[in-house]
Structure 1
């Protein structure tokens, strides 16, 4: 019995020794909060003497603003409920305040309260609590290593919507359930590394809405260097992500606009280029240049002067002056060019807009060029049609007035020739026949459009009949006619006799262009816009652009005795068929006449 008492006494001394040496505060309180026992850690912290530390009210040492919460958490602790850790401020004798972390508490059978607390740190400018309360506007809170909230700042309440009394001592309610695993991993990482960790994640407000944040978990150390608390600061990234989303959207819009602009410049028929005057080179050339000039774009980049080389010789001086003469304003020029290696003539209009730098110096030009070849051809065609119309009106007006007296004069000259056998009568009769021929061509031009009897015809068959008719004449001049007809050619609404007349006229012109003989190529095809194309190509001497542009004018002809009315008649016939005639030629390389007629595809 004595031995058991001795062991019990030794055990009590050991427990007392542990209690007095422990760094944690150990308190025993009665139901009113009076201190019944306080270890030396509490005495040292409060600077109390041995007589002062008992039978004093515990609340005497608690900050007056924290007394109500401390009383509710310690004095009204139920035996059946677990204790919720919390923090409170305590006062020194010198009037300063610190913070206590109340770790554990329980109520005994006798109704006394046993408490374990730990001082966090004195309240100075290096304190985590001081920093959280005074030095940061970011929402922040302090937790223990179990994740329980010990302290929050005002910014936390404003952002998340929870008040201090609702979450102190509880696991952090701002962590969504699907992020708990990530949360515990980060806390463990901070505990082991003893270094702050920053990461982007998602947090939850009191109303249940989630939002993106940047979270920084920083360790809080004991004096021994052990991590026992963590400070968490969060930044609301909602505005950041919204701004980034808007920036990305704006960048996407800009990229789409750039792509749209690129698509436009890469695919429009207009030729766009940017020329640097200082570097004397192109900074950008649209692909449409390649199609127009039939020259590789890389070649244009390497040799900008190649554009001048493709200008018509007569227009070259104006073009050189246009591009080389400085200007402060927009200017525009129309000029002729050689579109490809075959020397096919074309027309281009170029508009130059200068670009100035910050000091007003013109250093770049934006050039926008358009192919106006077809426009010029239409203008020429309109002029020719106007002339045809004028000649037709003239023919209608003078045909009867001239033809009747001409018949009488011709008849009397024939009688006079029989009676006198004068040598000049043959010359007079010859010239009268020429006048009669011209009048007959005038009458053809004067025939109104409604007199033409149209019908669906196979152009290949019409042309085959023309070839049979013209072959004997061609053989007389050592000319071979080669035909290449498209078998799938659609029918054409036309007057076959007039179409024959046009093709016969074109073949005769081709024969006349080859006095030493040669080849005529007669072909048919269907164009991309479903028109029937008829081509008559010879191997004659060809003609310059100036003469080519005047073809079809009345009284303009390459022949010594030509009137130009034959080709003009061809223009008139094809006009009545709602078609077009176009001539291409190059000196020394022959001439090609191209007739386009609407097919049944167009009519349908």
Structure 2
């Protein structure tokens, strides 16, 4: 509620040393503008703190006369203002100068307006002073702030216009891109004007298998993820890009814009592929020791039975045993060839995880003997379908089981299980090893972090990457001194079935 009232001649206004009385006193006293209340005869009724701060005068300095404040040649200004107010003007504004306590002439703009008593007679004059020096300083500060903002904006533009990271902003209200950084042209090999005209023009050279998902990442308001995709330009080498999208929401929570950040990850992808090949070759070499143990046993048996044939001259009694042992060697060699085959499936296909795990039994048992460990399997008798790359899933399982063996230097048992959780297949590797401290669990899979003394973490990092491509995950539970459980989760595909 706002109250209005008349200022009467009997009202008591404050100066700095005066007592504050009347309803208007606090407002007058603490307002930001320097203000003076003058009697009709020109004597001072009061002035506020801002006046003292601006000009330095106190009530002891001025008393009830304003003459010390007004230059000698300007003393007639009050009569001019008083006459105009008596003539009915409600505001008289003029530029002049006033003296501060040090005698310096201060250019000011004065706004004078009348104060009437209850009978409508001029009771006082109120004058507000705005120092032109303060105003100039304020304007200078505003210009400085504007220049800082402009320079900052230009700095942001310079960074965005000259960085290798491509930045694109899509507006869902306008249904088009409203900003594309220059790097977008080099990354997508498409002119920016083409994309501004047709939002889907950025797909011009994107691999056909990646287009639908790429459009979803950049143009779908519900998209909050990132993806890697291929750009294939005739006459140029294949390029891998990675785009991450960030939604911008309005006050109602609706996504109104989407900002996409795109970078070239071709070198990184090539490095990952090379690391995977070297890691796989290294794993084959390591498993070869276990295979040698596994092959030596049937070879020893075959050699012994051949010697018995030479001694007895009869092969019938030992033929079946020799064939059985040779078949066992053949199975081991087949498994080794399967693992070392550099060919990888380009597309994910329907696979039976029961068969995938069964294919690894001989290899994992052989590796267990090398580490003085045992491994127990709990694999479903029926099909366990999943859309996956079988070789890559085998790679992840072997890596996790190998880590479990190495976590039990004194020997122990590893449990490999698989089942359908109802939300998708789960493969679990559990050991009785030394365990992992709780604070280190979140670091598993990060580059160059390993829980092993001489480890590089490349195996786990690659396993995480494989599961990420499959839309799955790896979870770890561990207790120091009791062991670790690694749990692979693959997404549910309700349409998959294996007859």
- Give the TM-score band, short-chain normalised: 0.3 to 0.5
Normalised by the size of structure 2, how large is the TM-score? 0.38
Greater relative contact order structure (CA < 8 Å, 6+ sep): 2
Please identify the structure whose Cα radius of gyration is greater: 1
